[in-house]
Amino acid sequence: MRKLFVGLSFLFSVFGFSQEKYPQDAFRSPIDIPMVLAGTFGELRSNHFHSGIDIKTQQREGLPIYAVADGSVTRIKVSLWGYGKVLYIAHPNGYTSVYGHLQKFAPKIQEFVKKLQYKKQAYEVEDFPDYAEIKVKKGEIIAYGGNTGGSSGPHLHFEIRSSISEKPTNPLLYGFEVRDATNPTLLKLYGFPLSDDAQINQNKNTTAINFTRQQDGTFLADPVSATGTIGLGFVGYDRQDLAANHNGVYSVQQLVNGKVYTDYDFESFSFGETRYINTLIDYYHYGKYRQRIQRLYKAPGNRLSIYNKLENDGKIEVKEGLSYKVELLIKDYAGNETKAIIPIEGKTEPVKIDKDEEKTENYVIAKKPNNYDLGGAKVYFPANTFYDNFYIDLKKGEDTVTIHNNRVPAHRNFTITFDVSKYSEAEKKQMFIARLDSRLRPSHTSTYKRGNTFTTRTRYLGTYTLAKDTVAPKIRPKNFKEKQWLNNYHYLSLRITDDLSGIDTYSATLNGKWILMEYEPKTNTITYNFDDVILNEKECHLEVTVTDNVGNTNTFTSTFYRK
């Protein structure tokens, strides 16, 4: 596939088409240490495919990050979540490089961002500078690596997107060097009986298929007896040479008696389709065991464009008396391949384990809108909230609604509305709708309050409850004390926490003027940099105000000295 594109792009350039597909020498590495990956493109994540590569930064922050080519900064964002501090650089060749989870920006960009933050009086900002307003050169330091946003350790999230379509492409297509001589790992194989008459090894449910490693390195499954329409799936990952991280594989093929039935890879996908990952994986299994089985067939509702070829949607029609040789090929980007052979015999045998499907009184037709009044609470699913029809389990308790369980994915938001007429205005003010996790810990969901109803929009099935937060956030200084001289201090940092609904907003002033405090929710820390403002007074008054998600507010004041 890749070779074909290189050839095509050569033709395109001969005939004057400007955008070369996957130019090989256009981009340098965004770091100056060997590229070791903590995540690959297309890797299976919650509700999305990973849209870039995660480059390890030697477990530390502050590593210089370089512009991969000449270009212009077209988007800058500072966010508490997602990419954290992120830069987008558009290049003349039609590609945009993206650098996420940054600790801070290089001085000229940092200055631009600080100005914006002080103007908007907000830490979280986003701006789209005009083309050529902030130009960068290939190899110029643009930022320092960090751990901001939705990141669980220092690394650089790096993407290459088409500037026009914004479609992310696999950065490894551009010739970056990543040492990888290690074959992908196959952990598990599964069979899925799909038609009503289908069974696998006398079982009408998803069935694990045992396999063993052969001397030549391939895997051979125990012979499977089956009948009807079945599908297969696997659990696996890829590892590169210099790290133990379990990363995603690049391509997957399924051959049935030598014919390609399934072929998909992670060359590119669009953000519009990324949530359909929940149809590629067996979401039931994922909800139950937190392990992602990649299905080798197209399940209902799957609108993914990652397939190069599909025969019969990847499903195998197993006929009595016939045998089938299924080959599964899993490859990483470097071309290392893991192969498994699954022999299937068409055999109708007595069913030992019947389909374990719980029938409830409510059958959801996925294509239609579905509305349920549970008495004191209502649940509304717009059309196409779900990928497939199913028996939904709905339960109403005291101030609690249980919407099935976490083993069914929702593609769209649905709404849950609670009747709160029995509560006083004062109580309603401090109340909100919380989602309970598997350990019954509540987390705040955005709650729209109108008259006697509370409504929340969510994509997660599970248990929701009315909760009440009566305690204001806590604020305490981390690196200074009241009435202290802080002459040699570069930073002021404070710890802010909330017990239940969570922190909604915070702000700080120094001698009555707004100051920027950078917030890191992962460490509950807000930080002020003394370089931001020139202080004329010796005596400084700091005031920090923090508000939780139901409006409980706390204010902390402190006086310190500095000259």
- The contact set with Zn ion (CB under 5 A) reads 54, 157
- Determine the 3-state secondary structure of 111 from DSSP: helix
| CA–CA–CA angle 43, 44, 49 (5° rounding) | 75
Name which of 445, 425, 431 is nearest 399 in CA terms: 431
Closest to Zn ion by CB, 54 vs 61, is 54
Closest to Zn ion by CB, 157 vs 339, is 157
**Who contacts 219 (Cβ-Cβ below 8 Å, separation ≥6)?**
186, 211, 212, 213, 338, 339, 340, 341
Q: Supply the minimum distance, in Å, between the C-beta of residue 238 and Zn ion.
A: 16
b/e map 464-496, b = 16+ CB within 10 Å: bbbbbbeebbebebeebeeeeebeeeeebbbeb
Contact in structure between 44 and 275 (CB atoms under 8 Å): no
Name which of 58, 43, 50 is nearest 82 in CA terms: 50
d(Cα 99, Cα 157) in Å, to the nearest integer?
6
Contact in structure between 432 and 420 (CB atoms under 8 Å): no
- Determine the 3-state secondary structure of 33 from DSSP: coil
Q: Supply the minimum distance, in Å, between the C-beta of residue 170 and Zn ion.
A: 13
Closest to Zn ion by CB, 54 vs 238, is 54
Q: Which residue is nearest to Zn ion (CB)?
A: 157
Q: Supply the minimum distance, in Å, between the C-beta of residue 43 and Zn ion.
A: 8
Q: Supply the minimum distance, in Å, between the C-beta of residue 49 and Zn ion.
A: 11
Name which of 57, 51, 108 is nearest 82 in CA terms: 51
Q: Supply the minimum distance, in Å, between the C-beta of residue 68 and Zn ion.
A: 16
Closest to Zn ion by CB, 54 vs 399, is 54
Tokens 């994509």 correspond to 459
Residue 293 is which amino acid? I
Q: Supply the minimum distance, in Å, between the C-beta of residue 83 and Zn ion.
A: 8
Closest to Zn ion by CB, 263 vs 332, is 332
Closest to Zn ion by CB, 31 vs 377, is 31
Q: Supply the minimum distance, in Å, between the C-beta of residue 30 and Zn ion.
A: 13
d(Cα 338, Cα 488) in Å, to the nearest integer?
58
Closest to Zn ion by CB, 54 vs 332, is 54
